Every structure is written in C-alpha cells, then in structure tokens.
Copies of this chain bind each other. A is one copy, B any other.
C-alpha cells in the first residue's frame, strides 16, 4: 500500500525479495553495455545477476571496468560466456547489447525459456522484414518475432512495453529525432514531407572497435559527415514518424562525427502545416507547438522542453537520461527549427532500455535514472 519505496527520488531496497528483479546483460563489453552495467549496479529494484562477454569471461566487472570497482557487486560478479539456458535460470529480464544480427539469435532461446528481453540492437525495431532487408542487407533472422516486439520509446509505447516480452530499444539518432517530432506530426502542426534531420554525434556512438578512423588523432580536431544519404537508422525513424503522421513519409538524415565522447545534437528543419506569414499567425502557431509538446510530455520524466528560443546543449544532458529540445520559427524562411540534445549512451541507448525495464516490472519510470 505504502508507495514510498517506489518514489524514484528516494529509492528504497525491496523489503522482500519479490520486489527485486534479476537482470542480466549479454554483450557487456561495448560502450552501451558498460553504461547499462553502471545503471543496473545503481538500480534500487534490479539486481545484476549475470554479465556475459566471450572476451572477458572469468573476469570480474571491477577488473574489466575499473570505474565501477568501488561497488561491491562489481567486485563479486564475473563475466561468463553467453549461454541462453544458463541466463534463463539466473535472470528474469535479459538486456542484449550485441551487434545487429547477433541479438536475434539470443532472443529466441531466452524468450522460449521464459525470460523477458530488452534488445538494444536494431534487430527488432522494424515491423517489416522487407524494410529490414533493404536497410541491413540480409534477411531478418527471426521475422516471426517482429510482430511481438514493441518499440521501446517509453514516452509513446508505455502500455505496450509494460505487457511485452520483447522490447526493441530505439537507436540513439532516432530518439533524438522522434521525441521532438512525434507530437508535432500527430497534432498535424508540421508538414510530413521535406523534414531534414542534421545530427552531430560523439565518437562513442561508433562503438568500441579498433578502427583507424576512430583513433584519437583522427577524430580530435576533425569534423565530418558520414553515412550519407541512407544511414540504417533512417528505417526506424521513418517507420515511427510515418506512424505519427498517419501516412508514409521520407526524411533527410545527415549524421556527422564530432570530437566529444558522448552526446547527440540534432537540428531539425520542418515546415509548419499552417500559414506563418504574419506575426499573428506565427504567434498562434508557436502557441500550438508549445501546447502540443507540453501535452505530449506532461508525464514524461526525461523530456525537458526548453520552449521557444532556448537552445539545447549536450553538456546539459550528458550522463543523464534526459533529452532536451527547443525551437525557433524563422520568419524570413517560414521554417520551424527544432533542436534536441541527448546522451547517446543513456537516453539514446542504455538509460532508455532501463526506462523500459522499469515499465515492464512496474517500477517507477525514473527508478535508477535520476
């Protein structure tokens, strides 16, 4: 009855074991996996019971990620080889932080064994196996699961996330684009056509891999576009924006690599659906934008609306699960600019996955994330 233990700002350990959920992370050696481990070690209602990595099997979390070594659990828990059967015995919910294509292989046996799965890869984000094949270049490994999977954007799919056995947690770029645009498209305030998303990403977004192009000396003091014009994330962005608009749409998406460890800044160029030729029309339109966003995120703990004229900065969100966005209407061009900032590893990956965990398990949505 007492709701106090569920207050996310003053987390309480579960008084009885029933309130604690056993969680595992498969593929915990990359940047997203590491961030997941950080969040789960500090989570008040989840207990990390397994972490897997072929490369680190046998080592403790503290050895692999010294920054967590002060945490007692990090000194106890050792990496194991990934084994679905064993994991299913040790965990109630399993996070998959694996490369695209590999995640599906693990999801099936885990779900068969009764686990709930939160997948951070792109394997289950698309509803259509054909679109998957178009963008990822190979057949979908488990098309039967696509219908079952829920796109893990808690601000819009909370009810489905609560019920599902399989969450497909969104990509980092998509999150930075979808949260600012879905309300405006749903409410018919902007034109579905002609949207441009210009994004800047920190280098952790490229993953922890020994690639010359990702060396310090190659990235520091370097600014570069890449993945143009058909980045894989386009597929899920267009899927979700189309759903919001109520009809298919195509967008322009341009990612850039910039020398920060973390953070995505997205600048969106959109056309109002109404005339903004006069000052009165502009004020009316801006009022509707404000209202649309405010209403959409009234209950959302992690979406911070900066409003008209206030601009985001990734340093305000790095290390947090928040996405902030603001906008500006340009009277000279009639365009609305919407700009968002998030941490690609938290709201763009692991934090958002934990938000889904909270919904799935009936925890406060912000548990472990403030």
Contacts and interface: CB of A to CB of B under 8 A. Distances in A.
Select the residue from A5, A13, A67, A265 with max chain B CB neighbours within 10 A: A67
B7 A320 contact: no
Chain A interface SS verdict (over half):
loop
Contacts of A70: 301-302, 304, 320-322, 366, 370
Interface stretch (A147-155, A162-170, A213-221): A213-221
A262 B316 CA distance: 16
Contacts of A291: none
14 contacts: A4-B15, A10-B13, A67-B320, A69-B316, A69-B322, A200-B256, A203-B220, A220-B259, A221-B221, A226-B311, A252-B335, A258-B259, A259-B259, A259-B260
A58 interface: no
A312 interface: yes
A317 to B, nearest CB: 7
Contacts of A314: 221-224
Contacts of A320: 67, 70
A44 to B, nearest CB: 6
A254 interface: yes
A311 B192 CA distance: 28
A100 interface: no
Contacts of A261: 216-217, 220-221
Interface string A196-236: 10101011100011111011111111111110111000000
A229 B322 contact: no
Nearest to A11: B11
Nearest to A200: B223
Contacts of A198: 198, 254, 267
Contact of A265 (B7, B208, B223): B223
